[in-house]
């Protein structure tokens, strides 16, 4: 029997590994997680609860935005939002815990609701017990990345967890971090709390993975629809508390000109870092840092330690965590059987969704953008359409945004799609099929049921096909 311990079994990555290995007759499995209530980041503090609160803001935004409606715009009841979110999240978490506990009913599987830490190479202290498995899978997720900014330890701040639990929101705030967390929560704060926001943006626009037009469009939406003040090419220098209990953030532009921004609250949406606190890796040969985890999900310093999900810092996204877990399970089994030639790197087609603009105008990308295709030296055709080109978006009072398609110039293979428009998140799956199945754009039917929002895809397919024919 090969003994495998999974540290972080409640999370998406850990649960994926556990589910695969539990089916193997030659595997003894020890599952470990100290989570309370337990369920993983996505369920408890990430994608699931965030969509709960965003949807409340989206309903208000659409009611406020639609000139065809009259009467007072309703307020967002933050108590109701949080209570509903908590109730749903507990149900989602219970489902995950039940799945892990069901695995533990098997003769070869043991579950410990304890904290685990390394005390030596592949030696774990679990509560009062010490175990020495043949393999260890680390799936401990991520935690808020607090920037190393002078004064940060002297002020109070709110991270994404705090916003999701907030039953009151401040009148004003300054935001550090305008990645996917900031893009999702900034309009929620403005819509649900009426918070006057100043956002620090280091670059010319957000959405680093997108072609520039998408970031520019999104800035226009945020500034026009929520009156968010996005300060571009600005860098944080230090932060301090004000006499009235607020914060003062000192910033500089690229030329070194200084300014100070005062607000009632500081919001840290500065990303997440691998959660390795207290894990005891200093007692092992495994040294976290750049490239510390191979693409096979094995630690570079110990090929019997697998590191999956957010904790490896590669791509902190739910579906990637699951896929990494499945690949790690396959590779672990191959390694244990001595079949090293069957150990494969985890590879995936780029597929991200950001629920920007309260999910009314989400951003989705599958495969290549125009920029990434150029960087890869591909010979391609690029076409783009604005949402306003298709009347259906106007009829649904969501006319903003755009979409684009990248196809191979020789054989028409769909290489990538980007969308920043109403229902772009829904269309990502369709384009995932087109990209991963390497479909010729000329063979994809350009016939959507009318009038539905996938008409924007039909337009892209036609435009790309015409460009290839020309």
- Full set of structural domains in the chain with CATH: 2-144+273-342 (3.50.50.60), 152-270 (3.50.50.60), 361-469 (3.30.390.30)
List phi, psi (to 5°) of 362: -75, 155
Q: pTM of the full predicted structure?
A: 0.94
Asked if residue 251 lies in contact with residue 174, where contact means CB atoms within 8 angstroms, the answer is: no
Asked if residue 253 lies in contact with residue 267, where contact means CB atoms within 8 angstroms, the answer is: no
Asked if residue 9 lies in contact with residue 33, where contact means CB atoms within 8 angstroms, the answer is: yes
Task: Tell the burial category of 252 from Cβ atoms under 10 Å away from its Cβ (0-12, 13-18, 19+).
Answer: middle
- Is the pLDDT score of 44 beyond 90? no
Query: Cα separation of 293 and 446, whole Å?
Result: 43
Two structure tokens written together for 17: 């590994």
Q: ∠ CA(166), CA(78), CA(420), 5° rounding?
A: 85
Which of 16, 18, 2, 91 minimizes the C-alpha distance to 49?
A: 91
How confident is the model over 206-254, as pLDDT tens digits? 999 999 999 999 999 999 999 999 999 999 999 999 999 999 999 999 9
How confident is the model over 67-118, as pLDDT tens digits? 999 999 999 999 999 999 999 998 988 989 999 999 999 999 999 999 999 9
Q: For helices 12-21 and 78-103, what crossing angle results, to 10°?
A: 20
Q: Distances from the Cα of 128 to the Cαs of 74, 104, 117, 328, in angstroms?
A: 54, 20, 11, 28
Alpha helices in 128-268 (DSSP H): 160-164, 180-193, 212-226
Average pLDDT, the chain: 96
Confidence (pLDDT) at 232: 97
């Amino acid at each position: 029997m090969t003994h495998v311990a999974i540290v972080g079994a409640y999370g998406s990555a850990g649960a994926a590994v556990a589910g695969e290995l539990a089916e193997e007759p030659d595997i003894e499995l020890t599952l470990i997680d100290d989570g309370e209530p337990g369920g993983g980041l996505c369920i408890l503090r990430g994608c699931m609860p965030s969509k709960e609160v965003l949807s409340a803001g989206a309903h208000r935004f659409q009611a406020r935005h639609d000139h065809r409606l009259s009467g007072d715009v309703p307020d967002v009841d933050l108590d109701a939002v949080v209570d509903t979110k908590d109730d749903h999240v507990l149900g989602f978490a219970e489902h995950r815990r039940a799945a892990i506990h069901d695995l533990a009913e098997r003769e070869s599987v043991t579950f410990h609701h304890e904290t685990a830490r390394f005390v030596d190479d592949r030696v774990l202290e679990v509560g009062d017990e010490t175990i020495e498995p043949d393999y260890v899978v680390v799936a401990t997720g991520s935690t808020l990345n607090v920037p190393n900014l002078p004064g940060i330890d002297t002020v109070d701040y709110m991270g994404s967890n705090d916003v999701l639990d907030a039953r009151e929101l401040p009148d004003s705030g300054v935001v550090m971090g305008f990645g996917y967390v900031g893009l999702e929560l900034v309009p929620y704060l403005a819509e649900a709390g009426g918070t006057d926001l100043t956002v620090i943006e280091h670059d010319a626009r957000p959405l680093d993975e997108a072609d520039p037009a998408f970031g520019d469009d999104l800035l226009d939406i945020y500034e026009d629809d929520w009156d968010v003040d996005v300060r571009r090419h600005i860098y944080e220098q230090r932060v301090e508390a004000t006499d009235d209990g607020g914060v003062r953030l000192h910033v500089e532009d690229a030329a070194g000109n200084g300014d100070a921004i005062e607000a009632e609250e500081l919001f840290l949406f500065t990303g997440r870092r691998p959660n390795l606190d207290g894990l005891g890796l200093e007692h092992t040969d495994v040294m976290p840092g750049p490239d510390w985890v191979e693409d096979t999900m094995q630690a570079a310093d110990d090929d019997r330690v697998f590191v999956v999900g957010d904790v490896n810092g590669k791509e902190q996204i739910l579906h990637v965590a699951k896929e990494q877990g499945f690949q790690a399970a396959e590779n672990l089994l191959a390694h244990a059987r001595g079949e090293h030639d069957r150990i494969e790197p985890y590879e995936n087609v780029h597929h991200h969704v950001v629920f920007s603009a309260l999910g009314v105008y989400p951003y989705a990308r599958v495969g290549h953008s125009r920029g990434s295709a150029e960087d890869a030296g591909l010979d391609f055709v690029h076409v783009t359409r604005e949402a306003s080109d298709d009347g259906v978006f106007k009829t649904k009072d969501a006319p903003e945004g755009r979409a684009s398609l990248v196809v191979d110039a020789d054989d028409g293979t769909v290489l990538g799609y980007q969308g920043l428009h109403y229902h772009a998140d829904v269309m990502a799956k369709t384009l995932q099929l087109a990209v991963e199945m390497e479909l010729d754009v000329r063979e994809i039917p350009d016939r959507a049921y009318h009038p539905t929002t996938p008409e924007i895809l039909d337009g892209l397919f036609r435009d790309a096909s015409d460009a290839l024919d020309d």
